[in-house]
Amino acid sequence: MDIVLIIIAALIMLLGIIGSFLPIIPGPLTSWLGLLILHLTETIPTNTSFLIITAIIAILIWVLDYIIPALGTKRFGGTRYGMIGTSIGLIIGLIAPIPGGIIIGSFVGALIGELLNKNDTKAATKAAFGSFIGFLTSTFIKFIVTLIYLGLFIGILWDYKQALFQF
């Protein structure tokens, strides 16, 4: 049963990494769920303080994920339209088979969103850039946290490899 839980936890960890790029999936919280499932195995003892600290970090990053893009957008004079455009452009960029589709899609989406709201191209471009920078910053932070959680996951597995994989 431990192996099944480890496989499920590993898949959830990978989903968390993917979620750091997708606005639909909360990446760090999903990765934390993978850590929790790993600690539910019979072989690996539950480390409550570890789980609480990593949960607090995941929740903090989840909250910051809403604040950072808004700060970037406001700093450059952007609006809600730019943030919505960034998210839509990101999803289209994921589907589009072009290199850098995520980055191009999110910027173009922010620009279109701002152009729908403002007639001034210069102001819309500046606001789209702010929305884009806020999105990239937030995504980068989520990606780093999910990679750290993956590293912790692998480290825990490594520490208990003898007990987990003895046949």
Structural domain boundaries in the chain: 2-164
Output the pLDDT for position 92: 86
Q: Whole-model pTM?
A: 0.79
Tokens, residue 49? 């303080």
DSSP state for residue 14 in the 8-state scheme: H
Residue 86 above 90 pLDDT? no
Helix (H, G, I), strand (E, B) or coil at 98: coil
First to last CA, the chain: 14
Tokens, residue 11? 């898949």
Residue 131 above 80 pLDDT? no
Residue 167 above 70 pLDDT? no
Matching residue, tokens 């910053």: 137
Tokens, residue 42? 């019979």
Tokens, residue 97? 């088979």
Q: Which carries the bigger pLDDT value, residue 164 or residue 157?
A: 157
Residue 153 above 70 pLDDT? yes
Output the pLDDT for position 158: 92
Closest CA to 32 of 140, 135, 152, 136: 152
Confidence of residue 104 (pLDDT cuts 50, 70, 90): confident
Tokens, residue 57? 């970090």
DSSP state for residue 120 in the 8-state scheme: -
Residue 102 above 90 pLDDT? no
Cα(128)–Cα(86) distance, rounded to whole angstroms? 8
Q: What is the mean pLDDT of residues 66-88?
A: 78
